[in-house]
Amino acid sequence: MGFKDHCFRKSLWVFHFGGASCNNCDIEILDCLTPRHDLERFGILLVGSIRHADVLLVNGSINRRDRDRLLELYRQAPKPILVVAIGACGCTGGIFAEGNTFAGPVDKIIPVDAYIPGCPPKPEAIISGIVKLAGKK
Amino acid sequence: MSRKTLIPIGPYHPLQEEPELFKLYCDGEIVRDIKWETGYNHRGIEKLSESKSYDQVFFLVERICGICSTSHPFAFANAVEEIVGVEITDRTRYIRSVIGELERIHSHLLWLGLAGHFLGYNTLFMWAWKYREPILDLFEMITGNRNSYAMFKVGGVRRDIEKSKIPSIRREMGIIRKKLDLLTGAVMDDPVIHARTKGVGILTRQDIIDYAAVGPTARASGVDIDVRRDDPYAAYPLVNWKVITAEAGDVFAKIEVRLLEMYESASIIEQCLDALEKLEEGNIALKINEIPAGIGTGRAEAPRGEVFHFVVSDGSNSPARHKIRAPSYVNIATFKKSCIGQTIADATISLAAVDPCYCCTERMAAAYDSSSGEKILNANELIEISMKRTKELRKSEAGHE
């Protein structure tokens, strides 16, 4: 078992970065933590600081103003860190990819480990994506 | 000599319509001034809209805000239908209203949960979000998606509400009423919530008029405005309902208005379902081949207030100009009135009360004031202050009894 496996074997702490999104993915991510899905039973916890996080969730299209802040967050993150792009906008830019302020998609800015498509992805899809990612490593 | 401390809130708030950076200038614990910056969520939607066909614009405006993702298509449909000059069918009207009101219930529940979270009342947060889930299930049943429903098009809706689906919607409305009773009880009977929200973040009638605030924010201060009644659209003139207002203008009044509005929404949905049962299935969209040149304005009452769309058509298949004004744009400006002079703990809930989607949990950075070098609080610390205050109040309440 390597170092990375060891890091991601137990409870994953998640930091959530919402770029220029429409909030749909954001509320679905929060929804994962509320009673119906209750991700905390697996030890998955949303944390307030990137310095405590194992996973960086990024959703929303990234505009020019968000871009530098996302880079800075990635720089501050403890390595190894898993980056997950959530939603159509996070994966490709979605409907906003043609916008004049668009600076993404996420994988052009920072390396991405997993993509969870959907507009917005259902909480089940988000949970399944994270579980697959944790299992793979 | 007083030294002002700068507290930045933002820029990333996962649940706000537009992520913004708020700067609270504090003197001790009292907020003396507030400033804000926008642009973090700028996606160039108005410009994008000009490059898309009328059918595609619906999908675009739906993604302005995921929480009120029917209000924008609603207003856009009203605007384009004004240009074309068509009257939609009755069945379409009722279906549109059902979707609009279901959305109001889910949005208000979401807000109520977040308000509870900011007050340190996490049970309310979990309850409200739990009871919101069945509403999302209804959306999935009717439209095929939990959010971003893609129901609207020019001259009608894309999917019908068949007779077979009506009983389950009706049953769910019965259940949500009971849950609302429970939530209302939880809010109204808790002396700590009264102590934390009464007399906090007061906006007077004059403030609302000065800042042109809309929606529940305005109605909680006794300003009786509601687009659904003042500029009737869809099925709202065809059903019985009333506009909820309160006089106090504080955070408690805003909670009250939103709770009571949910009961009204449930009643509107039930009346619409009665009408839908009597009307024949099908005939949900008019065939519109061409959008003539012209100017159209569309308004709709989103859960947070009035959404305004202005569309200029030059006769081609995409809008020549599309102007959008969302309710938060005007409501946010009222922070100048509601937060100044409050303590930091109360400012958190005052900000949350104006915009239903205020969530600063993971979005605030700790920073240092460049002039004084003073450490500035970060998100979690700010919420902790708010929670601590509730705890203290709870203790002193227990002492009295």
pLDDT digit string, tens, across residues A56-112: 989 888 888 788 888 988 998 988 888 999 999 889 988 888 888 888 789 899 999
Positive or negative, the CA dihedral A46, A52, A56, A59 is positive
* Predicted pLDDT of residue B3: 67
Contacts of B60 in chain A (CB under 8 A): 95
Rounded to 5°, the CA angle B76-B305-B82 comes to 25
What is the DSSP code string of A61-83?
B-BHHHHHHHHHHHHHSPSS-EE
Helix, coil or strand: residue B233 = coil
Cβ distance A65 to B43 less than 8 Å, yes or no, reads no
Touching check for B67 and chain A: CB below 8 Å? yes
Touching check for B129 and chain A: CB below 8 Å? yes
pLDDT tens digits, A45-57 = 888 788 888 889 8
* Predicted pLDDT of residue B375: 47
Written as tens digits, the pLDDT of chain B (401 aa) is: 456 777 776 665 444 444 667 777 888 788 888 877 666 777 888 888 899 999 999 998 888 888 888 889 999 999 999 999 999 999 999 999 999 999 999 999 988 888 888 888 888 889 999 999 999 999 999 998 888 888 999 989 999 999 999 999 999 999 999 999 999 998 888 888 888 888 888 889 999 999 888 889 999 999 999 999 999 988 999 999 999 999 988 889 999 999 999 999 999 999 999 999 999 888 888 888 889 999 999 999 988 888 899 999 998 999 999 988 888 878 878 888 888 888 877 877 777 776 544 322 222 333 334 444 444 455 556 666 667 777 777 777 776 65
Contacts of A28 in chain B (CB under 8 A): 146-147
Touching check for B349 and chain A: CB below 8 Å? no
Give the distance from residue A126's alpha carbon to the nearest chain B alpha carbon, in angstroms: 14
* Predicted pLDDT of residue B363: 28
Confirm if B311 and B79 have CB atoms less than 8 A apart: yes
pTM score = 0.87
Cβ distance B378 to A48 less than 8 Å, yes or no, reads yes
Helical spans, DSSP H, in B35-89 = 45-49, 54-62, 71-84
Q: Which residue of B has its CA nearest to A65?
A: B40
Interface test mutation site (partner B, options A23, A33, A47, max chain B beta carbons within 10 A):
A23
The beta-strand segments (E) located in chain A are 13-18, 45-46, 55-59, 82-86, 114-116
Touching check for B130 and chain A: CB below 8 Å? yes
Give A3-136's CATH code, choosing from 3.10.129.10, 3.40.50.12280, 3.30.565.10, 3.40.50.2300.
3.40.50.12280
Contacts of B17 in chain A (CB under 8 A): 23
Closest CA to B255 of B102, B100, B67, B109: B109
Query: DSSP character for B31?
Result: E
* Predicted pLDDT of residue B117: 83
Touching check for B150 and chain A: CB below 8 Å? no
Interface test mutation site (partner B, options A14, A16, A17, A27, max chain B beta carbons within 10 A):
A27
* Predicted pLDDT of residue B57: 92
Within a 10 A sphere around the Cβ of B293, how many other Cβ atoms?
11
Confirm if B64 and A22 have CB atoms less than 8 A apart: yes
Touching check for B49 and chain A: CB below 8 Å? no
| B139 vs B381: CA distance, rounded Å | 37
Say how far residue B367 (Cα) sits from the centre of its chain: 30
Positive or negative, the CA dihedral B386, B391, B396, B397 is positive
Give the distance from residue A116's alpha carbon to the nearest chain B alpha carbon, in angstroms: 16
Confirm if B299 and B307 have CB atoms less than 8 A apart: yes
Touching check for B37 and chain A: CB below 8 Å? no
Closest CA to B235 of B91, B58, B72: B91
Confirm if B288 and B155 have CB atoms less than 8 A apart: yes
CB pairs A-B closer than 8 Å: 120
Q: Which domains does chain B possess?
A: 5-41+330-400 (3.30.390), 45-327 (1.10.645.10)
ipTM of the complex: 0.88
